[in-house]
Amino acid sequence: MTTSLYWLTSDLRLDDNPALVRAAQADSLICVYCIDQRWFKPHRYHVSSMGTHRWRFLRQSLDTMAEQLRIRGQFLQIRYGLPEQQLAELIRRHKVQRLICSRQIASDELRILKFLSQHFPELIIEQVDTATLFDTGSFDISLETLRKGFTPYRKQVETLSVPEPLQAPGSLPRAPLQVVPDQSLPDWIPKRYQQSGSGSADFIGGENAASEHLEAYFNSDLPSDYKNVRDQLDDWENSSRLSPWLAAGCLSPRRITKRLLRYEQQKGANESSYWLYFELLWREYFHWLALAQKDSLFQLKGLRSRPPHACLHPERYRKWCHGNTPWPLVNACMRQLQATGYLSNRGRQIAASCFVNELGMDWRYGAAWFEHMLIDFDVASNWGNWQYIAGVGVDPRGGRHFDLAAQASKFDVDGMYVRRWAPHTPDSALDSVDAADWPIG
């Protein structure tokens, strides 16, 4: 009798889930998701990793996943605490031979796998590519090659065919009888996370909501106009809005690509429809880059030989986080982010450029705040894009400095965006004589 342990992370779906298919090749299967207590505690950047917007979306996604598994004779066990300890306890109790998970690219999750391999040398650990268009080994993903930039990477992969998405399994192996699901929330999760109303109602977590949104988007004419409107700051129809479900793994990039191809066959392909695929390639590029660069993804100097000049000014940081800077456009971006957990790609670039260039701050603190706030936080895309703006990543220009006045005149011509999100801009200077506290997160 073989027992597999499927550790779910950012792969909360049954459709096109090769990790689940691999894990199901066993006599007995345990499906577990670990809520890491470290997510809720401020870390070295003075803010917690998990914010309330993403937490609400995650819980909805877990509820859907649990129901989908139940229909197929399985159930999702949710464990709270330190994942390495929770997984180790399950491995020992049920004599697990195989641990299956999606390929991990971030330091924390890789350290968990290293811990398990050291404590269980006989355990077979298999990482499966579930978050990308292509599999490891399909092309050169060495750091030396990826550092050359996005364009050489794109030319490599555009010649490849995206594999067909896998269908959701109709049934799954049973779980050991001793496994009992525990859905109660521990006391160490702050009370504010237990309020279900936080965040944008436009984003409902889970595979079902992801599929509904995917179909609604591609049943419209919006993909044919995507490139023309993708830089707009605020309007539901100016973006595909697929990123939250992609980040949580409720939707696979392969499924999106196949649906895009069907759209082009039915309504015709143009530059805008291609640009949706182009954006998926950018997302994928940051994924492989994060895997290759390892801990340098979180280092001040990034991929450069020396760190940039940067300070840590608590008052400036607090004003930027809460949208109280002298720049109305930046304030609107930051207040929208705080209210909804979402911000357009253009808005993220504007806010990040202000943080790095106007405020002269350590880019990692801005990246950490985005990690805390974003409902669609993705470690590779978030930290990779911040490196890009800060000039310590792969940008051949050595960083991006946006002229805030020019950005406002181009993307908020009538001032409607600022009036909606930040109608009142402080008259005070950016700095005062008094120190400010860090924002509570």
Q: Which residues are annotated as a binding site?
A: 226, 239-243, 376-378
Which helix (H) or strand (E) segment holds residue 334: the answer is helix 328-340
Which residue do the tokens 């990793």 mark?
Answer: 49
Q: Which of 5, 167, 227 is nearest to 96 (CA)?
A: 5
Give me the helices (H) in 72-206, please.
Answer: 83-94, 107-119, 143-146, 150-157
Measured at the CA of 88, the angle between CA 87 and CA 93, to 5 degrees, comes to 100
Alpha-carbon gap, residue 347 to 407, rounded angstroms: 10
Please give the torsion angle defined by the CA atoms of residues 414, 419, 423 and 429, in that order, rounded to the nearest 10 degrees. Answer: -40
- Please give the structure tokens belonging to residue 120: 């269980």
> C-alpha distances in angstroms, 203 versus 66, 199, 234, 260?
19, 8, 15, 21
Which amino acids are annotated as binding site for FAD, given as ranges?
Answer: 226, 239-243, 376-378
SS3 85: helix
C-alpha to C-alpha distance for 363 and 380, rounded to whole angstroms = 15
Burial class (CB in 10 A: 0-12, 13-18, 19+), 206: buried
Residue 172, classed as helix, strand or coil, is coil
Handedness of CA 166, 167, 171, 175 (dihedral sign): positive
Q: What is the 3-state secondary structure (H, E, C) of 266-287?
A: HHCCCHHHHHHHHHHHHHHHHH
